[in-house]
Chains A and B, each alone.
Chain A
Amino acid sequence: MNTRTRSFTPWYQRKRTRDIALVACFLLPSLAIFFLYRILPLLWNLVLSFEYWSPLKPAKFAGLDQYREIFLEDDVFWQSLTNSLAFVAAAPFAIALALGIALLVNSDLKGASVYRAIVFISYPLMSVAVGIIWKWLYDERGGIINYALRSAGLVTKPIPFLQSFDYALPSVIVAEVWQVIGFYMIILLTGLQSVPPHLYEAASVDGVPRWAQFWRITLPLLRSSLFLCAVIGILNSFTSFDLIYVMTGGGPGHATELLVTHIYKTGFGQTRFDYAAALTVVQFILLLALTWLANRAAGGNAGAHDTGRA
Chain B
Amino acid sequence: MMDRRKILKSGAVVAAAAALPMPAIAQSPKKITFLTWNIIDTADIINGWIARFTKDRPGVEVEWQDKKGPELPTFYQTQLAAGTPPDIINTQGALGLEYAGQGALLDITSRLKADAGYGNGFNQNYLGNWVYEGANYMVPFYLTKTVLFWNKTMFQKAGLSGPPQSFDDIIAYAEKMKSADSTGFLTLNFDWLYWPLYAMNGVDLLSTDLKTTAFNTPKAIEVTERLAKATESGAINKISWTGRWVEPNGAFAAGNVGMLHAHAPAYFYVKGQGKWVTPETLGATHVPGSFATPNSHGLGISKGSKNPDLAWDFLKFITNEAQIGEFARLRKLVTGNTAFDTKHFAELDKSDPFVAALLRTQLEHTDKMVGNWRLGNDSRVKEAFWPELQNVMLGRKDAKTALADADKKVQRELKRA
Contacts and interface: CB of A to CB of B under 8 A. Distances in A.
B103 interface: yes
Interface string B240-272: 011010000001001000000000000000000
A253 B383 contact: no
A56 B104 contact: yes
Interface residues of A, number: 26
B242 A271 contact: no
Interface in A244-302: 248-249, 251-254, 265, 268-273
A271 B238 contact: no
Interface string A67-80: 00000010010000
Interface string B211-245: 00000000000000000000000000011011010
Interface stretch (B171-179, B314-322, B349-357, B388-396): B388-396
B242 A252 contact: yes
Interface string A20-55: 000000000000000000000000000000000011
A255 to B, nearest CB: 9
Nearest to A135: B247
A49 B394 CA distance: 35
A251 B181 CA distance: 24
Nearest to A268: B74
B379 interface: yes
A163 interface: yes
A254 B98 CA distance: 23
Interface in B34-66: none
A194 B390 CA distance: 52
B379 A251 contact: no
A254 B387 contact: yes
Contact of A253 (B181, B303, B391): B391
Given A55-B104, A164-B394, A253-B391, A270 B379 contact: yes
Contacts of A165: 394-396
Nearest to B240: A163
Contacts of B77: 55, 268, 271
Given A163-B238, A252-B390, A55 B379 contact: no
B160 to A, nearest CB: 23
B308 interface: no
B128 interface: no
Contacts of A271: 77, 98, 102, 379
A269 B390 CA distance: 19
Interface in B88-118: 98, 102-104
A191 B156 CA distance: 66
Given A163-B242, A165-B394, A55 B80 contact: yes
Contacts of A56: 80, 102-104, 303
A177 interface: no
Contact of B394 (A54, A73, A248, A252): A252
Interface residues of B, number: 30
B390 A253 contact: yes
Contacts of A253: 387-388, 390-391, 394, 396
User: Which residue, B254, B377, B383, has most C-beta atoms of chain A within 10 A?
Assistant: B383
B239 A163 contact: yes
Interface in A107-151: 140-141
Interface in A48-100: 54-57, 73, 76
Contact of A249 (B98, B238, B244, B395): B244
The A interface is mostly helix, strand or loop, or mixed, namely loop
Contacts of A273: 81
A265 B303 CA distance: 24
User: Which residue, A76, A164, A265, A269, has most C-beta atoms of chain B within 10 A?
Assistant: A269
Given A56-B104, A165-B394, A269 B379 contact: yes
Nearest to B73: A268
B380 interface: yes
Given A55-B81, A268-B73, A271-B77, A252 B241 contact: yes
A258 B379 CA distance: 19
A251 B102 contact: no
Interface string B383-417: 10001101100111000000000000000100000
A170 interface: no
Nearest to B244: A249
A242 B52 CA distance: 41
Contacts of A162: 242
Interface in B355-396: 377, 379-380, 383, 387-388, 390-391, 394-396
Nearest to A248: B242
A248 B81 CA distance: 29
Interface string A211-254: 00000000000000000000000000000000000001101111
B81 A270 contact: no
A265 B98 CA distance: 15
A128 to B, nearest CB: 12
A156 to B, nearest CB: 9
A270 B104 contact: no
A54 B76 CA distance: 13
A81 to B, nearest CB: 16
Contacts of B396: 165, 253
B242 A251 contact: yes
A248 B244 CA distance: 10
7 contacts: A55-B102, A56-B303, A73-B412, A160-B238, A251-B390, A271-B379, A273-B81
Interface of A: 54-57, 73, 76, 140-141, 160, 162-165, 248-249, 251-254, 265, 268-273
Given A248-B242, A249-B244, A270-B383, 9 more contacts: A55-B104, A56-B103, A141-B251, A160-B238, A165-B394, A251-B242, A253-B387, A253-B391, A268-B77
Interface of B: 73-74, 77, 80-81, 98, 102-104, 181, 238-239, 241-242, 244, 251, 254, 303, 377, 379-380, 383, 387-388, 390-391, 394-396, 412
